């Protein structure tokens, strides 16, 4: 019987790619989200969709894990955009704490792959690569909630022997990017403008250089992390990125070029702080989080045999193609 991969947050941007990658690797996939199907878990389907409230008590989560009996649990649940601070602490941090405890209590061995974020590091030093040994000093609520989740998962691994690993993921791109993200917003506006007409894009200043990685490469890393020897990955943080800082302005301009349409691009300072900045954090402080960031990916190569395979042009072109699909086709893919 095929091993089961339980993907939490499985209908989100990253979750969809994770489900596809584990299915392609021969796993039976249980896709769990707040919008999945309800009911008990059938045993004869390659992919099962379940609806669960991820803010539910720990005993409900433990019951789900016991029923699914997964070989690997991947946590892609959480919030980035359009969420207040309390919701971020609830879904990004406290949920990961409950999940790690529930996984450690299972009567059979299970691999837990927690998706972390490069925002946990905070500002990078211009011209350098950030390794997993770097001191974390996140500059946003999102970064702090993800760092707290990472620390909780690693503590559980150390205290219980749970085979847990954290993949600290750079800015992910590719088909299905949410509209709250910069490149997702640009792609949607380019697709929404009537054919032949000039698209209007007004964005915050595009000064940052960041590390980007395609979501399908992230999913491939998760599959490798699920199969790696437990003693090599237990309690480790592993950077998943391209290992190069890219100009955000150049990426936006490339996306516009790939769309092959006239565009008027205006860069303006935002008038209000982003919704995920806590009280006292202005937009400049949040941008400083990632004005420069380039991750060292040598550990991923060494421990997982992983390296990025999808070039950024392909990632951006596939993002545009997915946005242009009719809604019913997007739902089927």
Number of domains present in the structure of the chain: 1
pLDDT tens per residue across span 103-133: 999 999 999 999 999 999 998 999 999 999 9
**Mean pLDDT within 294-313:** 98
Instruction: Name the average pLDDT for the chain.
Output: 87
Q: Is the confidence at residue 276, as pLDDT, over 50?
A: no
Question: What is the model's pLDDT at position 80?
Answer: 85
- Domain of 73? 4-332
- Ramachandran area for residue 196 (φ above 0: left; ψ -120 to 50: alpha; else beta): left
Per-residue confidence (pLDDT) for residue 270, from 0 to 100: 65
pLDDT recorded at residue 290: 54
Per the residue annotation, which of 142, 212, 292, 306 is the catalytic one? Answer: 142
Q: How confident is the model at residue 223 (pLDDT cuts 50, 70, 90)?
A: very high
Q: What is the pLDDT of residues 50-82, one digit of tens each?
A: 888 877 888 999 999 999 999 999 999 998 876
pLDDT bucket at 329, cuts 50 / 70 / 90: very low
Q: Is the pLDDT of residue 96 over 90?
A: yes
Q: How far apart are CA 95 and CA 85, in angstroms?
A: 14
Residues 181-219: pLDDT tens digits? 899 999 988 888 766 678 888 888 898 999 999 999 999
pLDDT score recorded for residue 325: 64
142 is catalytic: yes
Task: Assess whether pLDDT exceeds 50 at residue 94.
Answer: yes
Q: Which two tokens stand for residue 256?
A: 């516009």
Give me the CATH number covering residue 132. Answer: 3.40.50.720
Residue-wise pLDDT for 9-55, tens only, equals 998 999 999 999 999 999 999 999 876 543 333 444 467 888 888 77
Q: Averaged over 161-172, what is the pLDDT? A: 97
């Amino acid at each position: 019987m095929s091993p089961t991969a339980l993907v939490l947050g499985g209908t989100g941007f990253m979750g969809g790619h994770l489900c596809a990658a584990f299915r392609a690797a021969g796993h039976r996939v249980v896709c769990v989200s707040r919008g999945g199907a309800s009911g008990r878990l059938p045993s004869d389907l390659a992919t099962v969709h379940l609806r669960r409230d991820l803010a539910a008590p720990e005993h409900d989560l433990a019951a789900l894990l016991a029923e699914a009996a997964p070989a690997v649990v991947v946590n892609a649940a959480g919030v980035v955009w359009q969420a207040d601070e309390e919701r971020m602490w609830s879904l990004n941090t406290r949920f990961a704490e409950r999940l790690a405890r529930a996984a450690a209590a299972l009567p059979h061995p299970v691999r837990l792959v927690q998706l972390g974020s490069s925002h946990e590091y905070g500002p990078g030093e211009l011209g350098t690569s950030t390794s997993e040994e770097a001191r974390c000093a996140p500059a946003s609520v999102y970064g702090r909630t993800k760092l707290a989740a990472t620390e909780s998962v690693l503590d559980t691994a150390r205290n219980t022997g749970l085979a847990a690993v954290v993949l600290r993921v750079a800015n992910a791109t590719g088909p299905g990017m949410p509209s709250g993200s910069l490149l997702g917003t640009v792609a949607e506006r380019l697709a929404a403008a009537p054919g032949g007409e000039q698209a209007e894009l007004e964005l915050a200043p595009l000064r940052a250089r960041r590390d980007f990685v395609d979501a399908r490469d992230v999913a491939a890393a998760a599959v490798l992390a699920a199969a790696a020897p437990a003693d090599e990955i237990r309690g480790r943080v592993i950077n998943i990125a391209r290992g190069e800082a890219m100009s955000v302005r150049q990426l936006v301009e490339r996306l516009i070029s790939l769309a092959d349409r006239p565009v008027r691009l205006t860069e303006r300072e935002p008038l209000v702080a982003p919704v995920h900045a806590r009280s006292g954090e202005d937009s400049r402080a949040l941008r400083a989080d990632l004005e420069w960031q380039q991750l060292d990916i040598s550990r991923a190569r060494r421990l997982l045999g992983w390296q990025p395979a999808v070039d950024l042009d392909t990632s951006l072109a596939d993002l545009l193609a997915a946005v242009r699909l009719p809604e019913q086709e997007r739902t089927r893919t």
